[in-house]
Structure 1
Amino acid sequence: MEEQESPKTPVAIAQLVWFFGIASTIKLLLIPSYHSTDLEVHRHWLAITHSLPLSQWYSDETSEWTLDYPPFFAYLERFLSAFAHLIDPQIVHLHDGLNYKANSAIYFQRISVIVSDLFLLYGVYRSTQTLASFKRNLIWVLVIWSPGLIIVDHLHFQYNGFLFGWLLLSISFLAQGRDVMGGFLFAVLLCFKHLFAVAAPVYFVYLLRHYCWGGVVRGFTRLSVMGAVVVAVFAAAYGPFVYHGQIPQVIRRMFPFGRGLCHAYWAPNFWVFYIMLDKGIAFFLRKFGFNVLAPAASFTGGLVGDASPFVILPQITPMATFIMVLLALSPCLFKTWRDPRPRLIARSIAYAFTCGFLFGWHVHEKASLHFVIPLAIVAVESLEDAKHYFLLSIVSCYSLFPLLHEAQEYPIKVLLLLLHSILMWFCFSAQFTKNVSMKAGLQADKKAAQFGLKGSSRCAAEKGGFVLDWVAKSYLFGVLIVEIWGHFLHPYLLGDKFPFVPLMLISIYCALGILHSWIWQLKRIMILA
């Protein structure tokens, strides 16, 4: 048995603080780096919530960056705006502060994200309480030092680490059998960011079966308790807006279905193949003389907006994507109903987010973190899980590269991915090679004893461990080829011609990897007993 050390010991806490300190130091060094328009989006939200009464938060149109997150996030912005006003009142000025890029604003917002990562720290800490020290430390590395989170939150700019902290806390309580607390925390998370709702069917089925099922009286009582908890959370979030008659406007802001099927940069999901098929069929039909019009605009346009209509294939509606997500999720829901075990809940939630990413409406590439982060918890459970996570995390991180499109950030994102890949390789190898070698050696000795053979028979043990198969190696080599072509060869050979091709190749190639991950996750969930 592997020695298990309580995470409450001073040594374990010191290790966790060290992990977080190293990550925070890197994030502080990245403050002057590139940031996207999301920095201005959140600065404007600070101004909205600070300058306007609550009844006008979701109707203000001073800027194009209107508030479109659920109320708890708006309350968070209001809380942060009080400190921003003390540092620099211009940060929260609604009209004069538009596109305000002073160092005071940049540093305040950057540091606010770093501080909010304390929720992520506590979430991953609580999720690893029952694990042995090496596995616990490995998960801390995978989550706290996640290059994808650093790219999205601390370069591009968002607050995903804060939100994933709530998700991991919810999963940790469910894994301990504390279903009411787990459901409560997930309800809170939904009131911070509604895009996490794709996992709601898994939560509903699991809590209904695991917590509420078992007798009419007991079931009704527990269902009432869980329902009251969820209603209380949503009442706290949306109640003030119900009072002011703002709910229809809040819903319109939160669900802007007019934005189209795809984001400006195609997220690497199923719809990439659908789009390419439509474009390919239209291209060949035009070559053969058919009168097929080209789309009026490109799916790879730079602005977020309504995507181009399909030329040949049927148009995709939000309802169609909703049905596809539910169909993809249904095997997991049936499995959860038949076997609602706490130890499988993290896998099921991660699978739900994978389904939403692959088949959802207007998916952002950043949403791949929704399943990569919770899968880190199960990556240490088996050699197969570790190999899958190693490949998936690299694909997810690489798919985020287009977010940082300026030349000075190129070495940063490459270095982040390379260092994380090397670190994962050594950590997984250290964890699994020894275990596999011991098992292989014992089996070889047992077989040798059966045949009366003597001498060392553990040479087979050397063949085990953390070794990727040729398919995985070939795929990772393909990532290198795609990057070399897109960043170096395409500009050199073609110049400004076909500027969409490098992005398209990244989307298509990463979509293959994530599609494989989706199939692998489903098979894994269905076979685990």
Structure 2
Amino acid sequence: MTPPLPPAASELLWHAAAAACVKLLLVPSYRSTDFEVHRHWLALTHSLPVARWYSDETSPWTLDYPPFFAFLELLLSFPARAVDPVIVHLHRGLGYGAASAVLFQRLTVVAADCCLVYAAHRLTRNCKPGKGRLIWVLVIWSPMLLIVDHVHFQYNGFLLGILLLSISCLSEGKDLAGGCLFAILLCFKHLFAVAAPVYFVYLLRRCFRGGLARGIGRLSALGAVVVATFAAAYGPFIYHGQMQQVIRRMFPFGRGLCHAYWAPNFWVFYIVLDKVLSFVLRRLGFDIQTPAASFTGGLVGNSSPFAVLPQVTPLITFIMVLLALSPCLIKAWRNPQPKDTARWIAYAYTSGFLFGWHVHEKASLHFVIPLALTAVQSLGDAKHYFWLSIVCCYSLFPLLYEAQEYPIKVLLLLLHCMAMFLSFSALFDGSARAKATASESRTGDESGEKRSSGLAKKEGFTIGWITKCYLFGILLVELWGQFLHPYILGNKLPFVPLMMISIYCAFGIMYSWIWQLRSIVRGSS
């Protein structure tokens, strides 16, 4: 007879099964063009030889992910063909949205989330029950993942699962496994490379912690594993002379500094400043030419020209990201502690989000999910995560622009707020009560009771007035964009609601970056 699962594992499976049921309810909801992107990749990898994967232009949605993701699409194409052969037909399948295709592709995302569930289990298997359950709530029930993966349609949960597995190995001192998993992740999606400098510095320093000879051996083993991983991914394309085409597809710098909907990052302020300066200078009589590719035109193409301020190039954004990372890299070199890896990696992705080139708003998942691991470490981390996750989730609202999805995204955010508040309150108020009880048992007098109540009040999870004001501002921005703007201005200035969301959320994420940097520099954990 099979022995029963440990209580923690069985409870996690319950969370995963319940979350899967919610995801299945979202199957008929809105799906973006990313759905057709991945359907076409199923057809492309199934129908064409490897040598033509990165050069085919049958569809405008050309393959631009690294090879491991292409191999995953090839693997999924075989059951897809059994379900409905049209799904994997290179020409007949263009724009195909039959119920069979929708259900199959939605189910593949749900199934791929098993990687995220296992990562959550591995990260929390040695945690105290209260902290472990809270991490499950923040990761498995993330409303951002539900919106991006299971409504909008992507595979972020699977990829973030690999990242969390890597962090789990690093936090346990298993550097070789952690580095290998990160290399595998980069071969699935290269945008995770923003954290590569942190991995490089941290692992290099850790390799030589036991002396030069042992360090060379560890570094050689790590290098061999990384090289073997990349060789497995890119070897077939090197063999067919396709590497230049692969790199060109993966790094399309011609797309411009910003996406059609501005991600709430540093460049929002740069764009707004340029527009304000151009407006003022034109009023003063200067001949300022407005670029043809306007940032407010809603175009995905090259939207980089500025009227007044200097042009921004990919090299400039690369340098800014490295400069932002430098304090973290110094910290990782001086004191490479496994317990700090989640914090450093999350900070790296926050820096890439703020200062990177052509950043998508969905990339906020890269730092919000890893920060869930630090949210249970201290009261300050909990308060920071509470409002940051709300801000980042709200910044994704424009992805679901159809009216029928509006109640879904609002309900997901409100339920997430309630779950976080109740969970953080239970975790930290419970800790305070334990301390208060211990203090009272030692003193046994009235003064001890007063000190206990004071400690409980001090340690409890509360929302400060600044956070309340900022969150109230989100409500005002939403009321204007959703209700007042259409009523007052009609179809005029349609970009204003999106611009307001980007600017307002950018202030919050910029503050989060400063908060994380300060936390890393001070060495808090």
The two structures have a TM-score, normalised by structure 2, of 0.96
Aligned residue for 2:85?
A: 89
Q: Give the superposition deviation at 1:289.
A: 1.5
Aligned residue for 2:514?
A: 519
Aligned residue for 1:118?
A: 114
On the 8 A contact 1:448/1:457 being kept in 2, the answer is: no
**CA–CA separation in structure 2 for the residues paired with 1:442 and 1:493:** 60
Q: Give the superposition deviation at 1:295.
A: 2.4
On the 8 A contact 2:80/2:104 being kept in 1, the answer is: yes
Post-superposition CA distance 1:57-83 (Å, at most 9, x none): 000000100000000000000000011
**CA–CA separation in structure 2 for the residues paired with 1:120 and 1:521:** 24
Amino acid aligned to 2:378? S
**CA–CA separation in structure 2 for the residues paired with 1:441 and 1:412:** 43
Aligned residue for 1:422?
A: 418
On the 8 A contact 2:138/2:372 being kept in 1, the answer is: yes
Post-superposition CA distance 1:206-262 (Å, at most 9, x none): 100112344322121111111000000000000000000000000000000000000
Counterparts in 2 of 1:101-500, with a 5 A limit?
Answer: 101-439=97-435, 456-464=450-458, 465-500=460-495
The two structures have a TM-score, normalised by structure 1, of 0.96
Post-superposition CA distance 1:118-137 (Å, at most 9, x none): 00111111111210111101
Counterparts in 2 of 1:8-19, with a 5 A limit?
Answer: 9-19=5-15
Post-superposition CA distance 1:464-502 (Å, at most 9, x none): 311111111110111111101110111111111111000
Q: Give the superposition deviation at 1:445.
A: 9.4
Post-superposition CA distance 1:240-285 (Å, at most 9, x none): 0000000000000000000000001000000000000000000111
**CA–CA separation in structure 2 for the residues paired with 1:119 and 1:435:** 32
Q: Give the superposition deviation at 1:294.
A: 1.8
Aligned residue for 1:3?
A: none
On the 8 A contact 2:376/2:382 being kept in 1, the answer is: yes
**CA–CA separation in structure 1 for the residues paired with 2:369 and 2:46:** 32
**CA–CA separation in structure 1 for the residues paired with 2:296 and 2:72:** 33
Aligned residue for 1:37?
A: 33
**CA–CA separation in structure 2 for the residues paired with 1:212 and 1:242:** 33
Post-superposition CA distance 1:364-409 (Å, at most 9, x none): 0000000000111111011101000001100010000000000000
On the 8 A contact 2:109/2:149 being kept in 1, the answer is: yes
**CA–CA separation in structure 2 for the residues paired with 1:377 and 1:287:** 51
Aligned residue for 2:523?
A: 528
Q: Give the superposition deviation at 1:454.
A: 7.5
* SS of the residue 1:489 aligns to: helix
Structure 2, unpaired ranges of 5+: none
Amino acid aligned to 1:513? G
Aligned residue for 1:20?
A: 16
Query: Percent identity among equivalent residues?
Result: 66
**CA–CA separation in structure 2 for the residues paired with 1:125 and 1:314:** 48
**CA–CA separation in structure 1 for the residues paired with 2:435 and 2:327:** 33
Post-superposition CA distance 1:322-366 (Å, at most 9, x none): 000000000000001011000000000000000000000000000
Amino acid aligned to 1:271? W
On the 8 A contact 1:445/1:457 being kept in 2, the answer is: no
Q: Give the superposition deviation at 1:459.
A: 3.7
Q: Give the superposition deviation at 1:436.
A: 2.8
**CA–CA separation in structure 1 for the residues paired with 2:521 and 2:441:** 33
Give the total of aligned pairs.
Answer: 520
On the 8 A contact 2:305/2:311 being kept in 1, the answer is: yes
Over aligned residue pairs, what C-alpha RMSD do you find? 1.7
* SS of the residue 1:304 aligns to: coil
On the 8 A contact 2:440/2:448 being kept in 1, the answer is: no
Structure 1, unpaired ranges of 5+: 1-7
Amino acid aligned to 2:11? Q
Aligned residue for 2:73?
A: 77
* SS of the residue 1:191 aligns to: helix
Amino acid aligned to 1:354? T
**CA–CA separation in structure 2 for the residues paired with 1:94 and 1:362:** 29
**CA–CA separation in structure 1 for the residues paired with 2:292 and 2:411:** 39
